[in-house]
C-alpha cells in the first residue's frame, strides 16, 4: 500500500531534495507540493487525497501552525508531520496543540524521516531523537486537564485580576491580603491548569472565563 504525501516548504530546493529522497522509498509517493500553507489547502479542495502532509512551520502567506489547525479540523483523517528547523519544546508543543502527529527537525537523516512517516501513518506519534525530552510532558498535561480540576472561588478571582494585568502586589492591596498569599494562589493556579507562564494563564482565561 502506497503512502501518498504532500510536501509544503517555501524553499523549492528543499522540496525537491525531500522528493528525491522519498522517491527511493518503495511505498511512499509524493503526489503534491506547495510553497505555503494556503497552496496546500487549495490542493485539498481540488480533490487531492494524501495520507500525510509534510509541512515546514515558517512559511509566507499561511504558516505551518495555521495550516495544521485548519487541516486537523477539516480533514481529520490526514496526518501532519512537522519538518522544521525549530527545535525548542515550545515550538513542538505548539504544533502538537494544532494537531500534528509528529515532529522532526531538518537535520535528521533520511532513515529517520522514513520512520517518522511510517510511524504516524500507523497511528502513533513520532518525534526525532534530537528533540528535548520534556515534550513528553505534553501528554501528561492532557491527563491533568482531563482530571478536570476546578479553580476555587479565590483562585478564579485572582485569575481575573491577572487578566487585567495587575501585579501580585496590586492584587494584594486590592484584596487586603499579603503578597505571599496572592503568590501562593498563583502557584496553585499554575499547577492546577498545567500552565507555566502568566501569558498562558491570560490566554486560558480569555477562552474559558
Residues engaged in binding DNA (CB under 7 A)? 150, 152-155, 167-169, 175, 177-181, 183-187, 190-191, 196-198, 201
Residue whose C-alpha is closest to residue 160's, from 92, 206, 108, 95 = 206
Tell me what percent of the chain is helix, strand and coil, each rounded to the nearest 5: 55, 15, 30
Q: CB of 14: closest distance to a copy of itself in angstroms?
A: 18
Q: Is residue 198 part of the contact set for a copy of itself (CB under 8 A)? A: yes
Order of strands, sheet of 102-105, starting from the edge strand that comes earlier in the sequence: 28-34, 3-8, 52-55, 79-84, 102-105, 126-127
- Cβ distance to a copy of itself smaller for residue 2 or 198: 198
Q: Is residue 163 part of the contact set for a copy of itself (CB under 8 A)? A: yes
Residue 42 interacts with, from DNA, a copy of itself, none (CB under 5-8 Å by kind): none
CA distance 151 to 204: 13
Q: CB of 88: closest distance to DNA in angstroms?
A: 11
Q: Which of 14, 75, 86, 125 binds a copy of itself (CB under 8 A)?
A: 86
The C-alpha cell at 173 is 492591596
The C-alpha cell at 22 is 522519498
Beta-sheet pairing, 52-55 with 3-8? parallel
Q: Give bridge partners of residue 5 from the DSSP assignment.
A: 30, 52
Residue 173 interacts with, from a copy of itself, DNA, none (CB under 5-8 Å by kind): a copy of itself
- Cβ distance to a copy of itself smaller for residue 2 or 160: 160
Q: Is residue 170 part of the contact set for a copy of itself (CB under 8 A)? A: yes
Which residues of this protein are in contact with a copy of itself, per CB under 8 A? 86, 88, 90-91, 94, 162-167, 170, 173-174, 197-200, 202-203, 206
Amino acid at each position: 500500500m502506497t503512502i501518498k504525501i504532500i510536501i509544503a516548504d517555501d524553499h523549492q530546493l528543499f522540496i525537491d531534495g525531500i522528493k528525491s529522497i522519498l522517491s527511493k522509498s518503495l511505498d511512499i509517493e509524493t503526489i503534491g507540493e506547495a510553497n505555503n500553507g494556503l497552496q496546500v489547502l487549495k490542493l485539498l479542495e481540488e480533490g487531492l487525497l494524501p495520507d500525510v502532509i509534510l509541512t515546514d512551520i515558517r512559511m509566507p502567506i499561511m504558516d505551518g501552525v495555521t495550516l495544521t489547525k485548519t487541516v486537523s479540523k477539516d480533514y481529520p483523517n490526514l496526518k501532519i508531520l512537522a519538518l522544521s528547523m525549530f527545535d525548542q519544546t515550545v515550538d513542538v508543543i505548539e504544533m502538537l496543540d494544532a494537531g500534528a502527529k509528529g515532529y522532526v527537525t531538518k537535520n535528521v537523516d533520511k532513515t529517520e524521516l522514513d520512520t517518522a512517516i511510517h510511524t504516524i501513518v500507523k497511528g502513533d506519534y513520532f518525534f526525532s531523537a534530537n528533540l528535548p525530552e520534556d515534550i513528553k510532558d505534553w501528554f501528561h498535561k492532557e491527563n491533568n486537564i482531563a482530571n478536570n480540576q476546578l479553580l476555587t472561588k479565590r483562585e478564579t478571582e485572582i485569575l481575573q485580576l491577572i487578566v487585567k494585568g495587575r501585579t501580585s502586589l496590586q492584587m494584594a492591596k486590592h484584596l487586603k491580603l499579603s503578597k505571599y498569599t496572592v503568590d501562593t494562589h498563583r502557584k496553585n493556579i499554575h499547577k492546577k491548569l498545567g500552565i507555566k507562564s502568566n501569558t498562558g494563564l491570560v490566554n486560558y482565561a480569555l477562552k474559558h472565563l
